[in-house]
Structure 1
């Protein structure tokens, strides 16, 4: 999976469950009604995670998370989904997943090498003057009401 191939190369791959740390995640499918697909290929899926939903289950048989919903969307004949990124429960945005475990190390490498970049946008109250970069931890200010 980590070898460069060129035009005309013949590649044959056979995958067995022991090839992967967790080849078939134990995710109970849930309703696919909330899955909003942003981008999809045969191997990759990017969905819009809704605010208030967890990215993945934390307990066995937990349901109602984005991962459960995507598992239902993909159907029982798919081995995935496999999470490539995660968002906090109260955050909405694009969540990257693969449909097959073979794509995970490729995408992890692409993310590490900055071939895949993430941009975060935030809504703020008040007025920001000038420009700059936030490079310290950020969090919720309990004294400010939610705007959404």
Structure 2
């Protein structure tokens, strides 16, 4: 069974000079670059109603029109896996993702991902791009994600992400004592020397993270972060850029700093904390069917609760 996909997007003036296939990959980022290139070549992704080549240079202001038949994607196998479902109806699925679960299959993780689990839970997702997944969390980040169960719901949620109207709030525990909250407005792109990492770089994509202090300890801080944009590793990169890396972040955390005078239990916990201390705690969006704004919350997982308890104890006993 196939469904007809209808998407429109205006090319921002800032994209003037970009190739059509490059701009399409940014404006329709829930599809792979290869699939978009194929649609351009087939003439179902047009510029102001006209077929163009993938290398066609844009001037800004053009209207991209996408009208394509979507066949079921049979590349990925449905797999029976436990999902912590916070909410579900005919349009959306909100889940609380555990640490260690990869969202989408890739070279190093061909199966056992959230996408495989969604295909098993909702087989019709095979006809939706990326099985309805519209945003991601890193493998070791816990918390809330929304998955679309229909093409219309996916289009609505993607539009909210692009308009920055979907609200996503995170809990993070960082090394260092913040004196106050603030905003990091710094573009993020691939690290120039390490392709596994992202970095604040002048030629990166715009990225904005707001943060506020929730609780201070002797040498650490519990912060709440709110995303305006959704770049890869955004919170991890931005807080490390501010020299407040997340506890347990092997990629961006740098050398481990242990609090002077801390007891062995806290030192062991900090040395062995198995992941970045980051949790997607709150998610709010306009429901695609009802038009009402809905909000969901997920309590901190046990490992972060224990970490905060140890830091409180250290703070209280060493003052």
Q: TM-score scaled to structure 1, two decimals?
A: 0.71
Tell me which residue corresponds to 1:133: 183
Preserved contact between residue 118 and residue 125 of structure 2 (Cα < 8 Å) = no
Contact 1:54/1:66 (8 A) holds in 2: yes
Q: Secondary structure at the match of 2:115?
A: helix
1:72 aligns with 2:72: no
From 12, 17, 37, the counterpart of 2:3: 17
Number of the residue aligned with 2:80 = 31
**Contact conserved, 1:28 with 1:71, CA < 8 A, in 2?**
yes
Structure 1 residues 79, 43: CA separation in 2 closer, same or farther (over 3 Å shift)? same
TM-score scaled by length of structure 2: 0.36
Residue in structure 2 matching 1:84, options 125, 131, 134: 134
Cα deviation, 1:67-104, whole Å, max 9, x if unaligned, reads 11122222x3x235311101112212212211122322
Q: What are the Cα deviations for residues 12-34 of structure 1, in whole angstroms up to 9, with x where unaligned?
A: xxx9435357543333111222x
The answer as to whether partners of 2:2 and 2:69 remain within 8 angstroms in 1 is no
Is the contact between residue 55 and residue 66 of structure 1 (CA under 8 Å) also seen in structure 2? Answer: yes
Compared CA separation, residues 40 and 132, structure 1 to 2 (3 A) = same
User: Residue 109 of structure 1: which of 137, 159, 168 is its match?
Assistant: 159
**d(CA) in 2 for partners of 1:21, 1:129:** 54
Determine the structure 2 residue equivalent to 1:143: 255
Which residue in 2 is equivalent to 1:98?
Answer: 148
Which one has the largest radius of gyration? 2
Distance 1:28 1:67 in 2: 9
- Structure with the bigger percentage of strand: 2
Taking CA–CA contacts closer than 8 Å with sequence separation of 6 or more, which of the two structures ends up with the larger relative contact order? Answer: 1
Residue 88 of structure 2 is matched in structure 1 by 40
The DSSP-based 3-state class of the residue aligned with 2:170 is coil
Q: Which consecutive residues of structure 1, in runs of 5 or more, have no partner in the other structure?
A: 1-14
Give SS of 2:167's match.
coil
Change (3 A) 1:88 1:17: same
Deviation of 1:113 (Å): 2.3
Specify which structure has the higher proportion of helix.
2
Q: How well do the aligned residues superpose, as a CA RMSD in angstroms?
A: 2.7
Give the drift of 1:130: 2.1
Give 1:123's aligned residue: 173
